[in-house]
Structure 1
Amino acid sequence: MDTSASSRSGRLTVLRAAWLYDGTGPGLISDPVLVLDGGTIAAVGPPGGVPEGATVVDLGGATLLPGLIDTHVHLAFDASSDPVGNLAGRDAAAALAAMAAAARRAARGGVTTVRDLGDRDYLSLALRGAAASDRSLPTIVAAGPPITTPGGHCHYLGGTATGMEGVRAAVRERAERGADIIKIMASGGNLTPGTRPELPQFTPEELRAAVAEAHRHRLPVTAHAHGTRAVADAVAAGVDGLEHVTFMSANGVDPAPDALVKAIAGRGIALGITLGAVPGEGSAMPPAMAAGLPTLTANVRRLHRAGARIVAGTDAGVGPAKPPDVLRWAVGRLPDIGLTSAEALHAATRLAAEVCGLGDRKGRLAPGYDADVLAVGGDPLRDLAALHDIRAVYVRGERLASAGTRAASP
């Protein structure tokens, strides 16, 4: 390991630990030394000379891994029993303050990057800007208010649109405001009374118009899609991602059609599978979803075997079992749908970074990447519950003061 180069920031930190997972390999690197140059990783290697003037932090028997990345959160929702009502009672300033608190809790829980897929008043974009200078906040990828139909799923967030020109205009507004991604509600959802998750909300033509306009602005599109028809329409429209993908029907959950599984995997569409709940009151699935869980699990296993790109998008914020740092529990559930522990860690780091459009600087412990580091006790490749034993969190090179105590485990 070459540590002779001068520091660009003038502030080098050397992390020592027992093991390191770099975000790509199937195994761990023993006795690593990780050199942080301000907010960037300068070097990764075995023990060697420590750069002059560097601060050395010995984390003992910990394992270092890239900070976790949650591809589907709602910072505007407060993880209470009434997140929608509580948000309605907050003005913009109060909502932004609550979102910042949620984002900081996520970071303390090892989630150093979040993709917010639905806010109100574009507040996630404002928080994204604040994170540029406040390293207590995770990096934020922001969609702004999701595009939905009048009275449709999450209409109360203000993103309603009708007709092909209406959805094009909605996409243009988000592009002009600087959104990183377009989120469209292709089906109804469980959080909005009066909508039905198994039914489409937009016509195939409207979905195609939204995707074409987004791609014209070089923005990716991810679609909230529960029902089989909505999933199929979104895939045909050319979306880049799908959220939930439950293949719900009026009678439960449908087996995923073979042609649709093949199309999703073949086109490399990113699937944000909604996993993870903190055990306790409020962690039970909706009855209809619970009844269809065996089929739902079988569908996702088939998608995984077909080669689909699967990440854990937790829907953090939508209820008491979904706090901002719920991702650790979601990663622990990925083996239930066929992923190995190594694949689960990859899905929450390297692959999640790629899905968020940050693959050139997030999701790996490698020179030139952002210094987002999670240190945990134990070996997460052997037992993913190690993710709950948090020893330290670094967000773009800054160690969070409150990190380093054992988090609640399942």
Structure 2
Amino acid sequence: MASPREAPPEAVPTAQQEVARLAGLSELRAASAWFRSQETQVACWQLEMARIPAPPFGEAARAEWLKKRFREVGLADVHIDSVGNVFGIRDGSGPGFVSLSAHIDTVFPAGTPLNVRQQGTRLYGPGVSDNGAGVAALLAVAAALQAAKIAPQTPIVFVGNVGEEGEGDLRGMRHIFANPRWKDSIRYSLVLDGAGADTIVAEALGSRRFEVIVRGPGGHSWSDFGAPNPILVLARAIRAFAQSPVPTSPKTTFNIGVIRGGTSVNSIPESASMRVDIRSTSMAEMERLEAALRRELELASEEETLASERRNPSPKRSTALSYEIVAIGNRPAGELASDARMLKVIRAVDAHLGNAAQIQRASTDANIPLSLSREAIAIGGGGTGGGAHTLQEWFDCSGRELSLKRILLTVLALAGIRE
């Protein structure tokens, strides 16, 4: 008697097959219909939020606004954490979470005039695109899930995080991934940042930022001539540091973006400072340039001390020089593996929608999970935008629906649907 043959293992659907299956569901069609019919509401959210100031370390009012919107679109466990991140959950039955996030802060300091307005399909004003587009998309996806009664298999945590821009130094996302509740349970992180649908940020551009402060005795340019000059220390250091070789691959850059010091043309300054930005996809290259910066400052300080002694061999006052290097930013580098499920899913979604998108390298909230070897990408919230980080910033709502479908399909392909 022949022995029974084992049944072949059930084939696991490919990302393309899963995306096509999801796109054909009636619930997904209902969500897409919501995107089409509710564009006015989405733009209204975008304008409302942009009118609320959110300078670095001053996002509290905007967080309270988003907390109310999260409750209105049916999210559960809505709360603000100790640093100001806003959370809401679309419940599921499976383990872990898929995270969908957008930063709520802007680069603009307190007191910046926010002349936010709409003309036709265009929105104008500081922050309407970066990151008004991302937060509007975040709310649109949550609202569409509620309207279409879509129940994910894996819970989806919606996050409006603080501290992405500038000296915020990714503090919101750092806090999330330092919290065991989220660090140990977020399986995928989809970050919404800015406008567009033509990029996939899967490579985290690392950066280190420093403030260098040099101090000396100061004095009058005539009577104290010869005293060591902090500005000359910076000048010597900058000249030498600017000669540092950098590779083209991995691309590595540096910049001296701010210099301050002195009180008048006839005063030897008591202090001078500069701010330095170092960027690379390679942690080793950033460390090499940081070491070069420290070395050149030490040499420049020694050279200015010797030069001061030659200018005035018998000083009547102290000629002591000192300097300090203060880290004001440290964004880790990282890269998503080429065979990561997230990358397969977003590419399958783009193929299904006929959307052309390129892998890019950038500094976003995705830096944090990527640096921890977690799956994460950053994509745009749709439409088109320009003038980011200027008072002339703008966003055009035309074509936003494509990106909202892109985001929804990606999230649900990662989370699954309870049927």
Q: Which has the larger radius of gyration?
A: 2
Do they fold alike, i.e. is TM over 0.5? no
Interval of TM-score (by shorter of Structure 1 and Structure 2): under 0.3
TM-score, scaled to structure 1: 0.26
TM-score, scaled to structure 2: 0.25
